[in-house]
A and B are shown apart, each in its own frame.
Chain A
């Protein structure tokens, strides 16, 4: 069946559509935000430093060297050595690997859980919504820090092997982080569900799975990206707090948090600042850079949320 000859053709706009793709537009806008670019540069630097840096260090074996105990920064050991003669710079880099990995992994897991549960709750509503959101509420009523402390203490009590603790810490952090995300995703779903294009999708006879994951979720991807970015910073911070109190990842596996533990010793605190300033500065720089970058991303991807 051909279109009726009376129908005149209309021409597509004569712009190069490829150039105006959403991704490129967002990228261009993001590049205009100097602060966000700087934030991203710092984050990138920390990742490169931690994941590639150790390959250039001669001290990666972490050998205990009594002759080199508690040395101040010098030419061999740029950031000095700790009480066991280990190189601080190398340990900061190795700790960064753990801290950044924990931050990233727990972010991925909590975004996955939050998006999935929030989407399902918002889309289906009813009993399923009630169950999911009441669990989320329950997790949100308990302040997350004490909850994490209890979990951490339990881990120590059950004598979980130090190697596994890192993975369990990731899980713990996701458990306290997904409810907030789920709530936000659910709210978005509730409003998107009523939009006309979703009625059109119903009328097309699509399956729920297709409507949910093909039509609805892509609409909240910008929000998810922003939330995910901001989430990494929070996760790194929480992991550091836990490890600082000896409830997260345990030494000898270094993390930024358990390295700052050195500041607990009054002598180290007063006399040997090279033990705790580098990891502290790393946490500070990374988290603040991630947050600044996340804010910039939000301005670009989610203009409605602009303050």
Chain B
């Protein structure tokens, strides 16, 4: 199938007092129609910045997209003019954020906020938009939609607000939904409901989802394709089944190992030693080398490239390149 979005060597930098920080470093991947792609990684590895770059939320003078292209249905989002970009945002590409409580305007009624994209993108009149908004609220599983239309965000719970955010995001029937840790701020039972909701809409409308998360449980439940990021780079990617069954990169293995298993009691849960290196002081090396149990000499001096392995996975690790050389 033709990819819906093709991201090619995307780099995003931020300018800080201490110097230039490369938050996303030549990241390439594509999202096919109807596919759920998950980006996983720990805090500060560039997952969210990747999403922000796609949405054009990285603004100068704070930072900028320093290279690459984001191809969406044949057009490069980075080269579109403001008006065209505006007609794509919220319409064909929608986004939901981590904190539903702060993602809605506190002084606007829920109804107005759901109606807004309908009025702007679909050119509905007030009456149509209102009817559609009520329909949307019902679709995301909230009862008594008329009453919700007239209430303010502070009157609803986090779970309900995230449902409202989803209603707003899907209101114009987007082709791609970017969800930046949509369940992180919610408690576990609500998490499952929200994920079910997203999956239901995806199955019904055939939209693609780019899901950003650090929760491997969420990945296992939602993803078709998984991208593991570390320190602004993709270290491993592949189909969800292969990746979970046969993780290649030591970082992916570490991540999977540090996940509690139901019914299994351990003295201590495994955690990957060390921390993500400071993005200010990166030298040509595998960025994971000082936390890696398989670190070799070459890891300290040269950066591994993302290579295809036999099973359709891609991995950036010297372990596998060397293996190929020797075999």
Q: Which of B97, B143, B163 contacts A199 (CB 8 A)?
A: B97
B220 proximal to A (CB < 8 A) = no
Given contacts A195-B102, A218-B107, contact A3 B140 (CB under 8 A): yes
Q: Which stretch in B115-123, B208-216, B232-240 binds the other chain?
A: B115-123
Bitwise, B84-114 to A at CB < 8 A (1) or not (0) is 0111111100110101001111111000000
Q: Which stretch in A9-17, A71-79, A242-250, A284-292 binds the other chain?
A: A9-17
Given contacts A203-B95, A205-B91, contact A6 B196 (CB under 8 A): yes
- How many angstroms between the C-alpha atoms of A2 and B205 in the bound complex? 10
- How many angstroms between the C-alpha atoms of A195 and B155 in the bound complex? 19
In the complex, what residues of B have CB within 8 A of residue A204's CB?
89-90, 94, 116-117, 120, 168
A206 proximal to B (CB < 8 A) = yes
Bitwise, B153-182 to A at CB < 8 A (1) or not (0) is 001110110010100100000000000000
In the complex, what residues of A have CB within 8 A of residue B107's CB?
22, 218-219, 221
In the complex, what residues of A have CB within 8 A of residue B23's CB?
none
In the complex, what residues of B have CB within 8 A of residue A12's CB?
142-144, 147-148, 151, 156, 160
Interface size of A in residues (CB-CB distance below 8 Å): 35
Interface residues of B (CB under 8 A from A): 55-57, 85-91, 94-95, 97, 99, 102-108, 116-117, 120-121, 138-144, 147-148, 150-152, 155-157, 159-160, 163, 165, 168, 193, 196-197, 199-201, 203-205
In chain A, residues 281-303, which have Cβ atoms closer than 8 Å to a Cβ of chain B?
none
CB-nearest residue of chain A to B190? A10
Q: Which of B97, B159, B163 contacts A196 (CB 8 A)?
A: B97
- How many angstroms between the C-alpha atoms of A10 and B196 in the bound complex? 14
* Cβ contact within 8 Å between A1 and B139: yes
- Which one of B91, B95, B105 has the highest number of Cβ atoms from chain A below 10 Å of its Cβ? B105
* Cβ contact within 8 Å between A2 and B120: no
In the complex, what residues of A have CB within 8 A of residue B197's CB?
3-4, 7
In the complex, what residues of A have CB within 8 A of residue B91's CB?
205
A270 proximal to B (CB < 8 A) = no
* Cβ contact within 8 Å between B57 and A203: yes
* Cβ contact within 8 Å between A10 and B200: no
- How many angstroms between the C-alpha atoms of A203 and B94 in the bound complex? 7
In the complex, what residues of A have CB within 8 A of residue B140's CB?
3, 7
- How many angstroms between the C-alpha atoms of A150 and B108 in the bound complex? 45
In the complex, what residues of B have CB within 8 A of residue A124's CB?
none
A-B pairs with lowest CB-CB distance, top 3: A4-B200, A205-B89, A1-B204
- How many angstroms between the C-alpha atoms of A17 and B148 in the bound complex? 9
- How many angstroms between the C-alpha atoms of A9 and B152 in the bound complex? 20
In chain A, residues 124-156, which have Cβ atoms closer than 8 Å to a Cβ of chain B?
none
